[in-house]
């Protein structure tokens, strides 16, 4: 089944992916504008199911890499990511049949549509994180055996680094080093894949899920929570649940080694009165505790919403005094296997707890 993604759909995907982005993946605004501009100029983009890919087709994911705090200051023209895709195509000596996102997150769900519109490519309705994660090994592609390299990292000055590693584990370290040198934000194409590898390893349907979530949120007549619940209920994710309501009383953020690290503290309101939620993040929300007890951790989704509007709030926009609702969504099966938890379970981020899936 082929779907056309137009300017309005990008609005929905950007919003919905920010819910799935768990605070990270970059604020949605920039990626949305870049994608909408490209679609206005070149026409709508085909969103294709992984199952529509022939096994030997050649798929090159595209993404922005860097700290969200830098990303909102250093705006892209939309051409930078094309350089990394083209570099990889030249290296592999293949025509690219489709691009796709490597994660669901504000900027990286819509960025591939900008690339696709300009190059006349379809976007695969899938990604490798099913949410946003901070590092390049946090990919089902990596977990289930796809090589991350050759990978190309490019910047707005026409510089490109083509990285080849003996093991996927070195890719993040090297690409992040290059990204820092490129000014804290760069554009990456990694995990070049065959259609068969996409079908075997990607999390399917996440772009349509983002679009449906965004559409529901934008058109929800009253309670945003009900809209999100309704959409997630019929997805491969668990049904969204409200974990906490309160007022932000502390936010700490530091941009270090190309990431934004920190935490937010939320004092409970109404039924949560008297309790405090503490959320740690590294670009994305990693773990949520109520009074020092973990109630949700990676890989499950923890998303902070504006309590009035239902809008998801990215990590870099959390601010003192905001009234918020914290949402939890259980991730699909493919993201909760033992192999997957070895790569993105709570302990891999230094959280002193084991993964207990959210109910529903």
Contact call for residues 144 and 200 (beta carbons, < 8 A) = yes
Q: Which two tokens stand for residue 186?
A: 């760069």
Compute the half-sphere exposure of residue 31: CA atoms within 13 Å on the CB side of its CA.
32
Contacting residue, 69, 147, 160, 283, with a second copy by CB under 8 A: 160
**Contact call for residue 161 and a second copy (CB under 8 A):** yes
Closer by beta carbon to a second copy, 93 or else 338? 93
Contacting residue, 174, 230, 236, 269, with a second copy by CB under 8 A: 174
In the complex, least distance from residue 164 CB atom to a second copy, rounded to whole angstroms: 5
**Contact call for residue 93 and a second copy (CB under 8 A):** no
Residue range at the interface with a second copy (CB under 8 A); choices 20-28, 166-174, 269-277, 310-318: 166-174
Contact call for residues 296 and 328 (beta carbons, < 8 A) = yes
**Contact call for residue 69 and a second copy (CB under 8 A):** no
C-alpha distance across the termini of the chain, in Å? 29
**Contact call for residue 166 and a second copy (CB under 8 A):** yes
Closer by beta carbon to a second copy, 18 or else 137? 137
Residue recorded with tokens 């090589």? 147
In the complex, least distance from residue 155 CB atom to a second copy, rounded to whole angstroms: 9
**Contact call for residue 100 and a second copy (CB under 8 A):** no
State whether residue 63 is helix, strand or coil. strand
Compute the half-sphere exposure of residue 25: CA atoms within 13 Å on the CB side of its CA.
38
Residue range at the interface with a second copy (CB under 8 A); choices 28-36, 98-106, 163-171, 282-290: 163-171
**Contact call for residue 180 and a second copy (CB under 8 A):** yes
Closer by beta carbon to a second copy, 165 or else 276? 165
In the complex, least distance from residue 102 CB atom to a second copy, rounded to whole angstroms: 20
Contacting residue, 17, 163, 202, 277, with a second copy by CB under 8 A: 163
Examine residue 173 and say whether the peptide bond preceding it is cis (omega within 30 degrees of 0): no
Q: Burial code of 235-263, b = ≥16 C-beta within 10 A, e = fewer?
A: bbbbbbbebbbbebeebebebeebbbbbb
Residue range at the interface with a second copy (CB under 8 A); choices 100-108, 137-145, 167-175, 223-231: 167-175
Contacting residue, 29, 181, 253, 275, with a second copy by CB under 8 A: 181
**Contact call for residue 164 and a second copy (CB under 8 A):** yes
Closer by beta carbon to a second copy, 181 or else 218? 181
Distance from C-alpha of 52 to C-alpha of 205, rounded to nearest angstrom: 12
Residue recorded with tokens 């899938």? 126
Distance from C-alpha of 135 to C-alpha of 164, rounded to nearest angstrom: 17
**Contact call for residue 162 and a second copy (CB under 8 A):** yes
Contacting residue, 20, 182, 228, 341, with a second copy by CB under 8 A: 182
In the complex, least distance from residue 150 CB atom to a second copy, rounded to whole angstroms: 9
Contact call for residues 51 and 195 (beta carbons, < 8 A) = no
State whether residue 68 is helix, strand or coil. helix
Closer by beta carbon to a second copy, 177 or else 357? 177
Distance from C-alpha of 245 to C-alpha of 300, rounded to nearest angstrom: 18
CA dihedral 85, 91, 93, 99 (to 10 degrees): -20
Residue 148: what are its φ and ψ, rounded to 5°? -75, -20
Contacting residue, 42, 94, 170, 196, with a second copy by CB under 8 A: 170
- Residues contributing to the site for a second copy (CB under 8 A): 87, 157-167, 170, 173-174, 176-178, 180-182
């Amino acid at each position: 089944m082929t779907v056309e993604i137009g300017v309005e759909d990008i609005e929905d995907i950007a919003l919905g992916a920010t819910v799935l982005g768990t605070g990270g993946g970059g604020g949605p605004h920039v990626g949305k504008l870049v994608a909408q501009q490209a679609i206005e100029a070149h026409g709508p983009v085909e969103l294709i199911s992984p199952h529509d890919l022939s096994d030997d087709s050649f798929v090159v994911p595209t993404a922005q890499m860097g700290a969200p705090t830098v990303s909102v200051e250093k705006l892209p023209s939309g051409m930078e990511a094309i350089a990394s895709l083209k570099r990889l195509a030249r290296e592999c000596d293949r025509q690219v049949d489709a691009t796709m996102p490597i994660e669901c997150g504000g900027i990286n769900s819509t960025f591939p549509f900008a690339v696709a519109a300009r190059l006349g490519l379809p976007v695969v309705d899938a990604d490798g994180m099913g949410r946003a994660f901070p590092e390049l090994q946090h990919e089902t592609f990596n977990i289930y055996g796809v090589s991350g390299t050759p990978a190309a990292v490019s910047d707005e000055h026409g510089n490109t680094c083509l990285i080849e590693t003996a093991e996927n584990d070195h890719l993040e370290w090297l690409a992040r080093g290059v990204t820092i040198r490129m000014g804290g934000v760069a554009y990456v194409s990694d995990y070049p894949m065959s259609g068969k590898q996409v079908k075997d390893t990607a999390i399917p349907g996440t772009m349509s899920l983002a679009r449906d979530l965004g559409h529901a949120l934008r058109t929800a007549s009253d309670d945003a929570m009900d809209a999100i619940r309704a959409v997630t209920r019929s997805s491969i994710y668990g049904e969204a649940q409200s974990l906490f309501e309160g007022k932000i009383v502390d936010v700490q953020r530091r941009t270090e080694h190309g990431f934004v690290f920190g935490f937010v503290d939320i004092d409970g309101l109404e039924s949560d009165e008297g309790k405090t939620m503490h959320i740690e993040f590294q670009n994305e929300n990693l773990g949520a505790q109520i009074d020092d007890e973990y109630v949700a951790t990676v890989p499950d989704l923890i998303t902070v919403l504006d309590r009035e509007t239902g809008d998801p709030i990215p990590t870099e926009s959390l601010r003192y005094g905001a009234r918020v609702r914290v949402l939890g969504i259980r991730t699909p099966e493919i993201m909760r296997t033992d192999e997957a938890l070895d790569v993105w379970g709570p302990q891999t981020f230094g959280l002193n707890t084991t993964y207990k899936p959210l109910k529903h």
